[in-house]
Amino acid sequence: MKNLLLIFISILVLSCRKDPPTPQGNYNPIGITWELHSARVFVDNLDQNQKIYYDHFGPNRTNSNLDIFSPSQNQFDMLTAGQTTWRFASASSDFILDGYSTYEYNYLNSGSVFNVFGLENGSARPVEMLYCTPDELHVKVYTSYGNDGQYNYNFYSVLSFVRAGNTKPPIILDVPPNYSYGGILYSQIGTETSKLTGTTWVVTKYIQNLQTIYTNDTLNFVSDNTYTINGSQERNYLLSEQVISNMRTLSLYQFTTLGGDWEGRIQPTFLQDGEINNADFNDLFIVTRRASVFMQRIN
C-alpha cells in the first residue's frame, strides 16, 4: 500500500511539472551564456493599420530599450549590442543578466515561454523562444502598447543572441507578413545636425541623486559630429531622431560635466527654443546613472 502511494505521488508530481521549452532548431538554451548580437522591433499602428519594423542598432547606435515610447529603467529592458548577456541557469531557477544581476524564471504556456520575474519594479518579462541551436538563440519579448501623442501602437521586439565566444553572426529570421522596413529605430538627421553646427550652449545646471549642481560649462558644436567643452580638444557627439515619438536624442561623448558618455532625450523644438530644460540624460555604459540637464543657447 505504501509503495502504491509513493508511485501515485510520483506520477502526480511529474504530470504537474512543465518541461523547459525547446524552440525551433531543437536545442534548449538553458545553461549557456548568450550574448546579444542584434535586435528588431515590430510596430503596428492600430489606428492607421500600418506595420513597420526597425533595427534597434546601427552605425553609431549600440544602445536601445525594449520600451520604444518611454524607455524603461529596468536593467532587463536596456539593450547593448555585443555586451548584454543572458543565462538561464541549469542547476537552479536563476536568470543571470550581464553576468551579475540575478532574477528568477519559470515556465508558462506548458513550457513554451520562459518567464523572468522579480525585476526592479516587481514586474516580469515573458520570453518566447523562437529558434535555438548550440550557437544562436532568437526570442520574442516585451509585447506591449504605446502612444506617441497621436496614434496607438502595439509592438514587440525580437532579440538575436550568439553563444558567448561565437563570432559567427546568427541567421536572420523571416519578417512577419505585411511589415515594411523603417530603418534604424533612431536615425540620424543630417539637416538638424547641420543646424547644431556652429552653435554654442551653456550647461547651466543638472540634477542628480536629488542634488542640484550649478555649472557654467560651454559647449561649442564645431562640426556635424564634433564639439568642444570649455575650449578643450574636440570630441564626438551625435544628434538623432527617435522615429516613433519624434523626440530627439543627443549623445555627448566625453561629456566631462557629467563625467563620461551620456545620452539625452530632448524636445524636437530645442533648436528653435534655444534651451533644453529638465532633459533626462543617461550614462551610456552605466545605465543606472541618470541626470536631468538644463542648457541655454548663447550663440
pLDDT tens, the chain, 299 aa long: 444 443 333 333 333 445 566 676 778 999 999 999 999 999 999 998 999 999 999 887 888 899 988 778 789 999 999 999 999 998 889 999 999 999 999 998 766 899 999 998 889 999 999 999 999 999 999 999 988 767 899 999 999 999 999 989 999 999 999 999 988 886 443 344 447 889 999 999 999 999 999 999 999 999 877 899 999 999 988 887 665 666 788 889 999 999 998 988 888 888 888 999 999 998 887 878 999 999 999 98
Pick the CATH number of 190-297 from 2.60.40, 1.10.760, 3.30.40, 2.40.128: 2.40.128
Closest CA to 284 of 83, 10, 120, 44: 83
How far apart, in Å, are the Cα atoms of 154 and each of 48, 109, 142, 146, 194?
A: 12, 21, 10, 6, 34
Which 8-state DSSP code applies to residue 103? E
SS3 call for 111 = helix
- Report yes or no: 46 and 3 within 8 Å, Cβ to Cβ: no
What is the Cβ-side half-sphere exposure of residue 80, based on CA atoms within 13 angstroms?
Answer: 11
**Helix (H, G, I), strand (E, B), or coil: what is residue 192?**
helix
| Architecture of the CATH domain 19-185 | Beta Barrel (2.40)
> Distance between CA atoms of 93 and 117, rounded to whole angstroms?
11
The C-alpha cell at 66 is: 525594449
Q: Model-level pTM?
A: 0.62
**Closest-CA residue to 196 (of 266, 98, 286, 285):** 266
Task: Please answer whether residues 106 and 93 qualify as being in contact, where contact means their C-beta atoms are separated by less than 8 angstroms.
Answer: yes
* CATH 2.40.128 domain position(s) in the chain: 19-185, 190-297
